[in-house]
Structure 1
Amino acid sequence: MQSTHRGPLGRKPVIAIAGLAIEASTFSPARTDAAAFHPRRGDEVFDAYPFMAPGSPLREAADWRPALVGRALPGGIVTAEAFESLTGEIVDRLRAMPPLDGLWFDIHGAMTVEGMDDAEEVLLRRVREAVGPDVLVSASMDLHGNVSRDFAHDVDLITCYRMAPHEDELETKERAARNLVDRLASGQGRPLKAWIPVPVLLPGEKTSTRVEPAKSIYARVSEVAARDGVLDAAIWVGYAWADEPRNHAAIVVTGDDRAAVAAGAQELAQAYWDARDEFEFVAPVGTLDEAVDAAVASRVTPYFISDSGDNPTAGGAGDVTWTLARLLADPRITNGGRTVIYASLPAPEAVETAVAAGVGATVTVTGGAAVDAVHSGPVTMTGVVHAIKHGDPHARTEVVLRVGGGDGDGIIGDGETGGGLYVILTSLRKPYHHERDFTDLNLDPRHADVVIVKIGYLEPELFDMARDWMMALTPGGVDQDLIRLGHHRIRRPMVPYDPSDFEPDLHARLIPPSNEPLTGPDE
């Protein structure tokens, strides 16, 4: 239970909450505006954190002052206008607060902004200018974020997820807030920080903690964090679909014992580097044709296929039609012999047409490729409107169009099936991670033959439903073939862009406290 000990302050610490979170692919033509962050302001910020409910130990441990927190679905580069607008509001809100003891900085770490490198560092620097140099800052991050040397300097406490998929997201955020409260209560001031850049940049689908070697490497994080003299330890895989100098793996260990902090960081960095050639995809992979062939031949159902190149939860535009066009042209998918679900394609005009026609109507619609038309153009399909749903916070309106198949009612709740390809069309892009995302549309994925989802590794509910699965290496803004994407600005040498037989400098860089200058060359 969180202590409410007030320590040397003689009162509850005053702590602000602020942050902006997004994964932004520099290889997607999409752009992200301010509204996409769905910003929460003031007390509504607490609604994002169940562990901060009224009366909870952590809520009672400090005088919390929420400013603004925004979290966007991964996407394209954030516009300069959006960044300036949201950053300006955060700064204004912080300036209006009473003197602060701490700030919880809830971010992702992979935000790219037009004309800017290291956007989270820019945001943090502006926040520090607003709150003053003496405020302790604790950052919670995604392990697919980036930690530059400058950022490691300007933050005081820092942690990130230890699981991929991120089943420990809320646990990590709570840890960051608790670490800050406890540090302020102790009166010990700023801890030591050891930062090590590791010249490896891999997609999350090769570094899932479900499988080795990441499973064992990340198991060592909590072991290091539990050592005497250490407060926290973290490994960042980095964000593979942005092309900036800060994009690489990184280790940060914080604590009060210089030797323990440095040794822990070097141990984790060496473990990650030693495994550099062992990382493999979390699932069998192949071309789309190979994945569809495997699904059609499978003796178990449902068989899931990840359409990975346009994954909207990694930064894909979501409207790449390359895969859907091939499914529509494959009679094995549309002839009604199998029940196949495809999620999804943003196509607002097609959605409007289907809504106007109503459930049961036959419509011909065209959609997709409005944002990312690099790989294929819009697709046209004719089908029966199977379901319509309004009010989704991401998709706004969803429509299911059944292409091909018989005259039945399609997939309904009791498992009765009517074959064909069920294409989910949306007004705005949406990830499909939960069973209810399908059942709310009168689709039963458990009784489908094949389910194709724009995703990378399967999120927990999908993973549990899949009797077998394969990841299709499809094109898009988050292409798993990093070499094909073509990075030009990352630091080299870097695995897998260069042969892995070089020896990097993995010694611990002891970063001075944020209220002392950072000197020496940028590494």
Structure 2
Amino acid sequence: MSTRKPLIAIAGLGCETSTFTPSRTDAPAFRPKRGGEIIDTYSFLQEGTELGDAADWRGALIGHALPGGVVTKAAFEELAEEIVERLRLIKNITRIDGLWFDIHGAMSVEDLDDSEAELLRRIRTVVGPGTVVSASMDLHGNVSRELCHQTDIITVFRTAPHIDETETKERACRNLVTLLTQKPGGSTAAGAPVLPLKAWIPIPILLPGEQTSTRMEPAKHIYTAVPEVAAVPGVFDAGIWVGYAWADEPRDRAVVVVTGWDLAAITQGAEKLAHMFWDARKEFQFVAPNGSLDECLEAALASSARPYFISDSGDNPTAGGSGDVTWTLKQLLARPEFQQSSDSRLIYASIPAGPEAIGIAVEAGIGATITVTVGAAVDNIYAGPITMEGNVHSIKHGDPDAITEVVLQTGSIFVILTELRKPYHHEHDFTDLKLDPRHAQSDIVAVKIGYLEPELYDMAADWMLALTPGGVDQHLVRLGHKRIHRPMWPFDKSWDKRPDLRARVIPSSCQPLTGSNEADLTVVASMWRAATMLFAR
């Protein structure tokens, strides 16, 4: 007699969105994938793999947009409605046993404070409370009490920069299959699975990722403790969320979640991680030497290290910046070191120029001298558009993000112009444009980024983080948060007493989330002890 594989649907939306930029994110920006396209995206779900063969995987809709401004309500409603409808069609054919909720966790939507929880609430109206939900998230996402309640298992990246993204998503799926097919003790489950407990602790700290990179202390040793906690008997998974610093919502802060069947083990593990994070709050520093743009330029020009990278961090498009702030480029063009007669060379990546300016460059061709106006079409808070004259150095068509790229040399600055905004994280992003950061045009590379992504980090002989203005300003207090919980480190440096870092036990979505105070222990401990004892027999 054949055993029915669990049917697992896949759905989710992800976009890291700053509420401090005027840009907006619409539905096409998510580049939605549907049905079999979703399965094809993930190698670990392919036929013939352990996970792929362990369940009947059905794609509904997923969408992951380049970070940017707040998602429009119309875009959210359009995509959420399609997700719900596609799940309804699946359920009309067969039972949905599990759902992989593939999200980022820092998506702000117009008129919504907790969009991921709202999306999952709508999904639950279709799949029902009995469908087991496993969420995978970015550690720069936010885990509200409600989102923790709506999910049954929740896991998160353990590295920043994120070299474990695929590993985390695979873990979320593996956890889900394990829960649907095995008892906590490892034997084959009969009937509905017993859902793990969730110990949730909000931590009143809100820091940018550039101060919490796992490359360096204290995040390095704190995140080393996460798999150690997850390996404790009775614990299923553990995670620390740094939170997203460039949104102004009540849910924005660091959070610890530990899941498992042993109440004592998950609460102790969660409290251990929370106290480690809180106790290290004064030790978090930027991942590189930092300063004003002028200070970074002076250091780069005085250094013999080549190439020397400067992060134009305030308008980082991979953190939610609009990408078209012209403030830094305007300062660079005014520097005498980069005028025509100078031997100092600089690559600037990048500034959206729009289709009109790109069209002028393409029509003129490589080697032509052109004048174009670029930037600040969306975010002109800090500086307006720039009119530039220069020589067309190279042209590239067909980039999935930028569409068309043009390198314009003005003085000794090679400015990368894009039709649409694009992050520059890889060496080929430059060499494809006939730029060689390691050798020619390699004195200084200024790139709109925060911490350097792995390839750039390996390429840089030295680097600094420029504290430039923009929608993802690293100097958080300049942004003007008004709705986050206070007190909050580092906005508030004086504390009358230690924050409450006791674990809050969150029930499964099958049970009501009681109490309005986040300090409430929402489940009677004896109930969970009884469940734990049942499976310990």
User: Under TM normalisation by the shorter chain, which class is it?
Assistant: over 0.9
Which residue matches 1:329? 334
Amino acid of the structure 1 residue aligned with 2:471 = G
**How far apart, CA to CA, are the structure 2 residues paired with 1:355 and 1:53?**
42
Structure 2 unmatched ranges of 5 or more: 183-188, 519-537
- Tell me, yes or no, if structure 1 residue 42 matches structure 2 residue 35: yes
Residue pairs, 1:43-82, within 5 angstroms: 43-82=36-75
Shift of 1:500: 4.5
Which residue matches 2:346? 340
The structure 2 residue matched to 1:446, chosen from 434, 438, 441, is 438
Residue pairs, 1:23-422, within 5 angstroms: 23-97=16-90, 98-186=94-182, 187=189, 188-335=193-340, 336-348=342-354, 349-404=356-411, 420-422=412-414
Shift of 1:446: 0.9
Matched residue of 1:474: which SS?
A: coil
For these two proteins, the number of residue pairs brought into alignment is: 501
**How far apart, CA to CA, are the structure 1 residues paired with 2:210 and 2:156?**
18
* Cα deviations by residue, 1:370-421 (Å, 9 ceiling, x for unpaired): 00000000011111101111111110110000111xxxxxxxxxxxxxxx11
TM-score (norm 1): 0.95
Shift of 1:184: 0.3
Shift of 1:53: 2.5
Amino acid of the structure 1 residue aligned with 2:16 = E
Shift of 1:29: 0.2
**How far apart, CA to CA, are the structure 1 residues paired with 2:324 and 2:357?**
13
Structure 1 unmatched ranges of 5 or more: 1-5, 405-419
**How far apart, CA to CA, are the structure 2 residues paired with 1:22 and 1:446?**
32
Shift of 1:433: 0.1
The structure 1 residue matched to 2:505, chosen from 495, 510, 520, is 510
**How far apart, CA to CA, are the structure 1 residues paired with 2:397 and 2:376?**
23
In structure 2, relative to structure 1, the CA distance for the partners of 1:79 and 1:264 (3 Å cut) is same
Instruction: Using the TM superposition, name which of 183-192 and 472-481 deviates more.
Output: 183-192
Matched residue of 1:445: which SS?
A: coil
Which residue matches 1:415? none
- Would you say the 8 A contact 2:39–2:58 is kept in 1? no
Matched residue of 1:359: which SS?
A: coil
* Cα deviations by residue, 1:445-471 (Å, 9 ceiling, x for unpaired): 111010000000000000000000000
Matched residue of 2:505: which SS?
A: strand
Instruction: Using the TM superposition, name which of 494-503 and 217-226 deviates more.
Output: 494-503
Q: Which runs of 4+ in 1 moved over 4 A?
A: none
- Would you say the 8 A contact 1:230–1:256 is kept in 2? yes
- Tell me, yes or no, if structure 1 residue 437 matches structure 2 residue 429: yes
* Cα deviations by residue, 1:122-164 (Å, 9 ceiling, x for unpaired): 0000011111110000000000000001111110000000000
- Would you say the 8 A contact 1:146–1:250 is kept in 2? yes
Matched residue of 1:371: which SS?
A: coil
The structure 2 residue matched to 1:457, chosen from 451, 454, 468, is 451
**How far apart, CA to CA, are the structure 2 residues paired with 1:456 and 1:157?**
30
* Identity in percent: 66
In structure 2, relative to structure 1, the CA distance for the partners of 1:338 and 1:53 (3 Å cut) is farther
Residue pairs, 1:2-17, within 5 angstroms: 10-17=3-10
Residue pairs, 1:422-433, within 5 angstroms: 422-433=414-425
- Would you say the 8 A contact 1:277–1:500 is kept in 2? no
**How far apart, CA to CA, are the structure 2 residues paired with 1:163 and 1:20?**
21
Shift of 1:57: 1.3
**How far apart, CA to CA, are the structure 1 residues paired with 2:494 and 2:234?**
34
CA RMSD across the alignment:
1.1
Matched residue of 2:378: which SS?
A: coil
- Would you say the 8 A contact 1:42–1:68 is kept in 2? yes
- Would you say the 8 A contact 2:325–2:383 is kept in 1? yes
Shift of 1:499: 1.7
Instruction: Using the TM superposition, name which of 255-264 and 180-189 deviates more.
Output: 180-189
Shift of 1:95: 0.3
* Cα deviations by residue, 1:185-225 (Å, 9 ceiling, x for unpaired): 11342101000000000000000000000000000000000
